[in-house]
Copies of this chain bind each other. A is one copy, B any other.
């Protein structure tokens, strides 16, 4: 499909838009955009906030989630440096965006983005592609939480992080987890206890090493992939 052929480096990673080689006006806007610092556990924005800005992560990490009235929480994704958060068609944000560690973002005003969209015909397509990548990631996660077992879910999760490393030219078999077990559980639709036990089982199966609770070494990526796909 022609529009698809315009896509650049379609990246499937949970819950974020990668800002790749963007239209000039978007890059220009981003370069000018003011930097904002968000401390660990601080909110970048909350569900319901007027969405006056779109943000690009420069350093750190952000959790994106929605909550039910009784407190149950679904983490929709994690945003890392390079990712853009806050895009959407609603006047208000539909998710909470909370830093998991000290984070810096560039703030793009919606008004300025509109300006660019009117003058730069390529920008609309860029936004389309960003949304399409987000959507692909959301559907990957739907498949995971709708159909996979706890072990398959955790394997999928680790592999997604590994693939992100690979795309960034880093070691695919060394995975850092900036988020807590609670975040991982709420992302995968599991409790922290199940996440913890499942890490232990993967360790006993020799598929991973866990020298530190936030530092995972993948010992057999092929077998993890088998596991994730229900082979």
Q: Could you tell me which A residues sit within 8 Å of B by CB distance?
A: 1-7, 10, 51-54, 66, 68-70, 72-74, 76, 87-91, 94-95, 110-111, 113-115, 117-118, 121-125, 127-129, 131-136, 138-139, 141-143, 145-148, 186, 188-189, 229-231
Query: Contacts of A110 on B, CB cut-off 8 Å?
Result: 1-4
Could you tell me the dominant secondary structure of chain A's interface residues? helix
Residue contact A89 to B133, C-beta cutoff 8 Å: yes
With A117-B3, A121-B124 as given contacts, are A72 and B136 in contact (CB-CB < 8 Å)?
A: no
Total copies of this chain within the assembly? 2
Closest to A129 in B: B89
Residue contact B145 to A88, C-beta cutoff 8 Å: no
Query: Contacts of A5 on B, CB cut-off 8 Å?
Result: 91, 114
Give min CB distance, A54 to chain B, whole Å: 7
Query: Contacts of A131 on B, CB cut-off 8 Å?
Result: 128, 131-132, 134-135
CA distance A2 to B52 in the complex (A): 8
Residue contact B89 to A139, C-beta cutoff 8 Å: no
Q: Which of B76, B87, B118, B229 contacts A142 (CB 8 A)?
A: B76
Interface centre among A3, A76, A115, A131 (most CB of B within 10 A): A3
Query: Contacts of A135 on B, CB cut-off 8 Å?
Result: 88, 131, 134-135, 138
Knowing that A4-B51, A69-B229 touch, tell me 14 more A-B residue pairs with CB under 8 angstroms. Answer: A1-B88, A2-B117, A3-B127, A6-B114, A7-B90, A10-B89, A10-B90, A68-B230, A76-B142, A88-B136, A89-B129, A89-B132, A118-B121, A128-B131
Give min CB distance, A179 to chain B, whole Å: 16
Residue contact B10 to A136, C-beta cutoff 8 Å: no
Give min CB distance, A131 to chain B, whole Å: 3
Query: Contacts of A138 on B, CB cut-off 8 Å?
Result: 135, 138-139, 142
Q: Which of B3, B10, B117 contacts A125 (CB 8 A)?
A: B117
Residue contact A147 to B230, C-beta cutoff 8 Å: no
Give min CB distance, A211 to chain B, whole Å: 29
CA distance A141 to B135 in the complex (A): 12
Residue contact A89 to B51, C-beta cutoff 8 Å: no
